[in-house]
Amino acid sequence: MKRMRKRGYISILLLLAAGTALSGCSQSSGNGEEQTAPGQEKVTIKFWHRWPESQQALEQAIKEFSEKYPNIQVELPSIASAQYPTQLQAAVASNDLPDIFANTNAVPLDQLNRLGLIRDIDDVFKEGQKDKFYEGTWTEGFTTLDGKVYALPHFTPRRYAHVLYYNKNVLKNAGLTENDVPKSWDDLLKVGAKIKQSGSDVYPLILGIKTDWLSNGYLGQMGTAIKPEVVPNDGFNLKTGQYEFDSPGYVESIEFIKKLQDEKLLHPNSLVIDYREASSLFAGGKAAFVIDGTFLSSELQQNNKFNDFGVAPLPTKDGKPQYYAFQGETKATLHVSKNTKHYEEVKLFLQFYMDRYYTKQLELGIEGSPIIEQNKTVKVDNPPFVEAQKIQDQTFVLSPHPYTRNRAAVQVNTELNGKKPKETVGKILEGYLAGQIKDVKAQLSLLSSGYNKALQESIDKVNKAGTPIQLTDYQFPNWVPLQPYATDKYGELKK
Amino acid sequence: MQRTISRFVWPASRRTRIRYLWAYALIGPQLLFFLAFTVYPIVMSYVYSFYEWSGFGPLEQFIGWDNFAKLVQEQAFWNAFRNSLIYMAATTLILMPSTLILALMLNRALFKGKVFYRTLYFLPVVTTTSTIGIVMKFIFGNENALVNEVLLGIGLISKPIPWLGQADTAMLVLIVIGAWKFYGMMLVYWLAGLQSLPKEVFEAARTDGANPLQTLRFITLPLLMPVAAVILLLTVVNSMHVFDLVKTLTGGGPFYATETVDLYIYNYAFSTSGFPQIGYASAAGIVFGVAIFILTGCLGLWAKRLQQTGGKH
């Protein structure tokens, strides 16, 4: 019995000893890493992103990079876009951010910087290299803070425009040609009636209304043909300095979709599906047209293996011109962790990135480059992609942004986060089509007042904290919608 | 008093002491996990609810009861609360009687193919809920979807019904599928309850000449009441926490018509297109948790009373 007891003690001691030894091991390995000299021994840099469409191009670019720099390994895990903010939250909480990581709406640039999580990357750029990017790329609060670059664009910042995709086979079966692709709402109604006659289960238009962020965009973009003062990006009237979701632009666009539904020209599944289900049904020949972002082009080719489609500008009321505002907001960017131990290697990688990844994504028909010259010189044998890029380029117009006018607007935006109503124009469209909302204008007015109240409260809070900013900083009387708002225009406002 | 003290006396024998040590050593890891992954998150959600926090950076903005004040004024929260209650009440009303009747049938010794039917009804329980949600979305679709095709085929309807595109029908479909998913589980609960009833009472009833209906009315049902109360409790708690089915089947739509509280919390805490509001979502979780606690507490008390009176039968 005594022996058994002894054995028991011994086994506990052994367990404890093993535990201590294991923790000792982990410590020693940590010390070992710190001793590694950058650039001489094998180094691994971690890179997190949230763009599934870029995965293939990134893998190819990283492979080329590893061949050029065999001592630098780039780890690129595949992260589901929806999980990305949560994963980043966990990394921040455990102080374990990857060396390079993609931005997310969940944590704006200003907040990342104030939390001491990112570092400036000014020295990544060679002399004059920054000037090769699109005008407006280096905007305070989006890519730069106090003049220093903190975010490197991943795609062209003039992304994404909303376009109309047409299925060539469906058009052919209905006896139509590419010349019949609608330019105005009336055209769509006329062409739609012909398509509806051609087959019982084929509809003129399909939308993935469950994806409300996409609906927000195309409703706003179509709305600019009716009321151009309201920018489609966020429903803000840059003349009055107020959110105006109840502008005729939004109201009439929503009512037009309702009309399509009433006249059975909108695929009935539209209300219950998301944008990818909609594009799959479109590729499957169930609809002649689908409205989506310019990024759908590569999605259809890569995932749906579908090539018989064309791209056209969105049809608008009376066929009037439309636009999407480029206000310096680069939606897809990369940050470098402040705690990176391998900044020299990261720099090499980012330089390679600008030279090679940007062109690779063009070659593969994924998205345009942030560098103007590359978009002109790289040969791309992909007609729908080229057409989509052309339309995108025409759609984006450099427009004013309060960030550039008063730096305090960045703080106001950080304050605004979480205070804006959770409601969206896309959700209101869903409610209107489902018959739950009877008065769409009243619902949109409610949304506008919620946004305006939150904006005013945030401005007041920033003012109280000692940084002066007024609502007038959000008004741009010298702006002419649809005309580029160059940097010198901000100067005129000061006079 | 003496009894209470004697519980904490360190065992006299060394052998017993070692056995105690081993017992604690063995439950230790589980206890640690329980503290780390159950107790700690619950405590922290109470802490978060008093902060304005997006999940990034330290907890700095203490805002007192503001999240709770905003929550009780939020129409969308009460809409989600109402939806959760409707779903809970409807699934419970469908499930309680229907599963009992089927369990009574399956419990009869003469019934053939019992095991087959039990397995058949249990299949949805073991199927992943999100998979069911996605598949059902197509079955209850508008065009080229099974349900509408069948109804059109037999002439019950003249045009397809947008099942998930209308507020009322979307909730109806959600309830029916939710009930179907939990049907097998309820059946197992009832069967376990039925099989635990004392056989002697039924034999005595048969000897006394009671017919099956009388046996059911005066013996089976009264004896089952304590079990029924527990089953009711489990059904209520389960249906109040419906999440994955709503997320995949309707996404809470159309226009929040099927958004339940769990989905509402998720949308605020893990919003991917906007800004996550962990503090506010925690406050919503706490209010809802307290509501469920009160509801189940009342049901628990009722179940206890039934168990006491049931024992006297």
Q: Is A384 in contact with A292 (CB distance < 8 Å)?
A: no
As a whole number, mean pLDDT of residues A271-287 equals 93
Does B253 contact A89 at a Cβ distance shorter than 8 Å?
no
pLDDT at A457: 94
Closest CA to B66 of B268, B283, B265: B283
Task: Say how far apart CA B23 and CA A494 lie, in whole Å.
Answer: 77
3-state class (DSSP) for residue A321? coil
All domains in chain A, ordered by first residue: 43-157+329-393 (3.40.190.10), 162-230+246-319 (3.40.190.10)
- Over pLDDT 70: what percentage of chain A? 92
How many residues are listed for chain A in this entry?
495
Q: Where are the domains of chain B?
A: 67-126+174-312
Give me the residue from B54, B143, B274 closest to A268, CB to CB. Answer: B143
Task: Say how far apart CA A32 and CA A41 lie, in whole Å.
Answer: 12
Closest CA to A82 of B272, B262, B243: B272
Does A436 contact B15 at a Cβ distance shorter than 8 Å?
no
Ranges assigned E (strand) in A17-121: 43-48, 72-75, 100-102
Top-tier CATH class for B67-126+174-312: mainly alpha
pLDDT band at A229 (very low <50, low <70, confident <90, very high): very high
Q: Which parts of chain B sit beneath pLDDT 70?
A: 1-11, 109-111, 271-274, 310-313
More confident residue, A15 or A144: A144
Task: Say how far apart CA B53 and CA B60 lie, in whole Å.
Answer: 8
pLDDT band at A233 (very low <50, low <70, confident <90, very high): very high
Average pLDDT of chain A is 89
pLDDT at A385: 92
CA dihedral A424, A429, A432, A438 (to 10 degrees): 50
Closest CA to A279 of A301, A261, A249: A301
Task: Please check the confidence at residue A182 and state whether its pLDDT lies above 70.
Answer: yes
- Which residues, other chains included, contact A489 with Cβ-Cβ below 8 Å and sequence gap of 6+? A400, A476, A478, A479
ipTM of the complex: 0.83
Give, to the nearest 10 degrees, the angle between helix B66-73 and helix B75-107. Answer: 70
Task: Please check the confidence at residue A5 and state whether its pLDDT lies above 90.
Answer: no
Does B164 contact A286 at a Cβ distance shorter than 8 Å?
no
As a whole number, mean pLDDT of residues A408-412 equals 91
Q: Is A269 in contact with B143 (CB distance < 8 Å)?
A: yes
Q: What is the pLDDT of residues B61-91, one digit of tens each?
A: 899 999 999 999 999 999 999 999 999 999 9
| A286/B contact by beta carbon, under 8 A | yes
Mutate to test the interface with B, among A4, A112, A422 (most CBs of B within 10 A): A422
> Measured between CA atoms, how close is A483 to chain B, in angstroms?
29
Q: What is the pLDDT of residues A345-382, one digit of tens each?
A: 999 999 999 999 999 999 999 999 999 999 999 988 88
Does A106 contact B143 at a Cβ distance shorter than 8 Å?
no
Give me the residue from A201, A418, A435 closest to B144, CB to CB. Answer: A201
* Beta-strand relationship, A43-48 and A144-145: unpaired
Q: Is A241 in contact with A471 (CB distance < 8 Å)?
A: yes
Q: How many helices (H) and strands (E) does chain B have?
A: 15, 2
